[in-house]
Structure 1
Amino acid sequence: MAANPVYQWFSALLCYPEADLLEALPEFQTALQQWPELSAQQTALQGFLDYLGSHSLRELQENYVATFDRNRNHALYIFEHVYGEDRDRGSAMVDLLQEYRRGGFELGDDELPDYLPVLLEYLAQVPSEHAQKLLGDAVHVVAHIAGKLNAAASPYAALLQGVTALSPVAPLPLVEPPVRDMDEAMETFGPDFSGQEPLLKPSIETVQFYPKSAYHAAAKGAAS
């Protein structure tokens, strides 16, 4: 059994919808009504469950693809919003993989470590204090994606807002990620495990969901 099932609840709902998800809607409904962690967001999250229950599987799948796969602003890959095409993205990927492995969590070959449902599944398995720390590090990005989805009137905004509400850390605004010439980066650093992105060896042991320079810049702006 998961140590923190509420994260698993969000993880499953943020994945590409399949028939078994719709079959399990009564279980998701029961959890929403019973878990105190979700009480503050219950109305919005109920709206998302209603959305799933009122559309066909094909409609849900088409909307999911249009929302997350065809719109980079809504991507559920955390480092997409932090590093963009900067070479540090590869290093952050490796750091996150190491975090998962320290917790005994191995990814499949077709999964990237910064995919938000993967991170949430990991948070469901680790001690609550550690899960809260990691979520507090990542919440700035989660809230950023939530804002983009909300601006697009997407029903998925409720899920990202719900995850944000679980964090002990208040989110700060996210600065725009740097842009780097990918041909140059590939030539200098070589491809990552997928053969697509430059990959660096990790230089630190902690995961940087939010670069310190960007964090301090956002904090300074929020305080002014």
Structure 2
Amino acid sequence: MPTFEVLYQAAALCLTYPDDEFRARLPLLREAAPQLREFTDHAAVTDPQQLAAHYVQVFDFDNRHSLYLSWWHDGDTRRRGMSLDRFKEVYRAHGLEFTGEELPDFLPAVLEFASRTGNTDLLTDHRTALQQLRSHLTDVGTPYACVLDAVCATLPPTEH
């Protein structure tokens, strides 16, 4: 499987809250990951406050747009705790300790992990969640859908 470390890192940055740091990185993101140009071009010409409000509207108010991968399989159940532990175990197995403010299944964290380690197991294991998220983002017409399109395009096809 070809490596997609740069794309994963760029996608991780595109799927985090669009603060001033994000805006400063936009030119680099645009050049480093041409697969994300639809989104980076949109972000570059959108008023920063509007982009931030759009992010909140898309990702914070609708569970069908959840960036937390275990939510797609476990929802808000006790079982989700075991899933979150598995994410941490995979990180530890690669010498990384998850210390982020977000949960370990937060898609930008998983993408950053894949970027740093080259290990795409967490992405592949949660391919169905990624495809569902991509579909829902496409349905609402948000430019964030192209980020998921690019990530999903890197995953091997599902086996039947």
TM-score normalised over the length of structure 1:
0.66
Higher helix proportion = 2
Question: 1:29 is paired with a residue of what secondary structure?
Answer: helix
Distance 1:151 1:135 in 2: 22
Give per-residue Cα distances to partners, 1:71-120, cap 9 Å, x unaligned.
11101001111111232111111111111112122222522011000101
Distance 2:85 2:38 in 1: 37
Q: Which deviates the most, 106-115 or 154-163?
A: 106-115
* Runs of 5+ consecutive residues of structure 2 not aligned to the other structure: none
* Runs of 5+ consecutive residues of structure 1 not aligned to the other structure: 34-41, 172-218, 220-224
Runs of 4+ aligned residues of structure 1 deviating over 4 Å after TM superposition are none
Is 2:113 the partner of 1:122?
A: yes
Contact 1:52 1:60 in 2 (8 A): yes
Q: 1:31 to 1:94 in 2, by over 3 A?
A: same
Partner of 1:17: 18
Aligned residues: 157
Mapping of residues 205-224 of structure 1, within 5 Å = none
Distance 1:29 1:98 in 2: 33
Contact 1:12 1:117 in 2 (8 A): yes
Which structure is richer in relative contact order (CA contacts within 8 A, separation 6 or more)?
2
Pairing partner for 2:158 from 158, 170, 174? 170
Contact 2:91 2:97 in 1 (8 A): yes
Partner of 1:8: 9
Give per-residue Cα distances to partners, 1:42-62, cap 9 Å, x unaligned.
3xx322111101111111111
Q: Which amino acid aligns with 1:18?
A: D
* Identity across the alignment (%): 30
Q: CA deviation at 1:32?
A: 2.6
Give per-residue Cα distances to partners, 1:138-169, cap 9 Å, x unaligned.
21111110000101111111101111001013
Greater C-alpha radius of gyration: 1
Partner of 1:107: 98
